[in-house]
Amino acid sequence: MIQMTRRAALVGLGCALTSSQAWAEPDQAELRLRRPATGEFLVIRNWPLTEVDHLRASLLLRDVKDAGEAVWVDPLLIETLARINVLADRLIGSATITITSGYRTIRHNSAVEGAAQNSFHTRGQAADYQIAGITAPACAQLAAMVGAGGIGLYDSFNHVDTGPDRTWDQQSRRIR
Ligand SMILES: [Zn+2]
């Protein structure tokens, strides 16, 4: 069971990193997204998010298990992933975020075991991800440090969304 607060997350990784410092130079932030289900790879370097990058990210995050249906994902989700990428880069060098699930149709979501009925995945506001070289608990801490809303910690991946502040893990389903 984890009970993360932003303060605890900062203590966990040392106080040298704060989200404001990490985002102090947004022009240099690079978001690298990989979608193993399709082999796609996307790099976003321009901030604030441009329309074309928003489109590219929305397509990468489409529902690959339900006819490739896509929606415009929440731009804040993309920015949150970019902030996580910045911190991940500081930890391990050049990090890439592997997306295992993005937007889900309601039909697909209802077939996912344990998924909330009105999951933020169905609104284009959530992503499940992994970062090679960073453990899932550390990824959850990075997400907390950049001020993500929903943070879910699972055995081999993390969930992040732009909904209200909540934290849970696979066992407890605890919501803060
Ligand atoms: Zn999820």
Give 15's contacts (C-beta < 8 A, 6+ positions apart).
Answer: none
Calculate how far, in angstroms, residue 105's C-alpha sits from the geometric centre of ligand 1. Answer: 13
Calculate how far, in angstroms, residue 101's C-alpha sits from the geometric centre of ligand 1. Answer: 7
- Please give the Cα distance from 22 to 20 (Å, whole number): 5
Q: Give me the residue spans of the domains in the chain.
A: 6-169
Calculate how far, in angstroms, residue 147's C-alpha sits from the geometric centre of ligand 1. Answer: 17
Q: How confident is the model at residue 10 (pLDDT cuts 50, 70, 90)?
A: very low
DSSP letter assigned to residue 50: P
- Please give the Cα distance from 9 to 150 (Å, whole number): 15
pLDDT tens readout for residues 148-165? 999 999 999 999 999 999
pLDDT at 114 over 90: no
pLDDT tens readout for residues 24-53? 455 678 999 999 999 999 999 999 999 999
3-state per-residue secondary structure call for 63-113: ECCCCCECCCCCHHHHHHHHHHHHHHHHHHCCCCEEEEECCCCHHHHHCCC
Report the pLDDT averaged over residues 76-102.
Answer: 96
Calculate how far, in angstroms, residue 127's C-alpha sits from the geometric centre of ligand 1. Answer: 5
What was the pLDDT predicted at 24?
A: 44
pTM of the model: 0.86
- Please give the Cα distance from 105 to 22 (Å, whole number): 33
pLDDT at 128 over 80: yes
pLDDT at 173 over 70: no
Calculate how far, in angstroms, residue 125's C-alpha sits from the geometric centre of ligand 1. Answer: 10
Task: Tell me the two tokens of residue 155.
Answer: 């055995």
What was the pLDDT predicted at 23?
A: 55
| CATH number for domain 6-169, candidates 1.25.10, 3.30.2310, 1.10.3470, 3.30.1380 | 3.30.1380
